[in-house]
Structure 1
Amino acid sequence: QHSFMHDLESFFWVLFWICIHYDGPDKDRAVPRFDKWNFMDTEELAVSKTGVISNEGDFRRIVDGNFTSYYQPLIPWINRLRKAVLPNGRRWEQEDRGLYARIREILQEAGKDPQVLAER
């Protein structure tokens, strides 16, 4: 059954994708490691995504090495979103009615971060 939690997880992955594939407005790029996701079946994709988010150190290395310079300032905020949306490095097991408010709070804090707001 579809839950709002699926939507929040999708939001996380779309933001992750943008930070890797775009270096600002109208500056897209190909990243073979992640472009393969477009052609995986859902089970294979789930395993691949789990490998990205399951360990914080691995996640940080992946985003540090793959986020474009334009989106580098979002790394700590994306990591906070990861921890909120994918607790303990894996998909949620039960609905968390407070998650939407926590996501909104993280995004509002990110919107006040001078590093995020700096001109690039």
Structure 2
Amino acid sequence: MEVVPFTVREECEGEYEVPGRKIWSDDVLLAKLVPIASKVIAADGRVDVVGWLGSHALLFQGEAVLGPKSATIVTHRPGRASTARIVRNIEVDGWYWFEARVRRPVFIDEALFLDLLTDVSNYEF
């Protein structure tokens, strides 16, 4: 893995530089880990895995947005406040991939990360 700088532009944070990664196999670039934002809805950050075949968004779920098992937002209706869940099935802080068809978060372990990397690069591990 090669560390490379990326510039991130966020409305609240402005423009700043952060390290990303390039993932190589021999002399072939398989994918990049591209930092996208430190503030996203219902997450503490986003990094995309980008390869020549596509990309996957990885979201960091931490205590700042989670509470015990799900993120909540407070909505105000006339006369009362209520909460609505944004993210369900979060068991531990960490990086998650949201499976698009069923819209559920999947904790990213080594096996899933290699599957996502294979999906964007067509490289078999």
Which bin holds the TM-score, normalised by the shorter protein?
A: under 0.3
User: TM-score normalized by structure 1?
Assistant: 0.27
Please say which structure displays the higher CA radius of gyration.
2
User: TM-score normalized by structure 2?
Assistant: 0.27
Higher strand residue share = 2
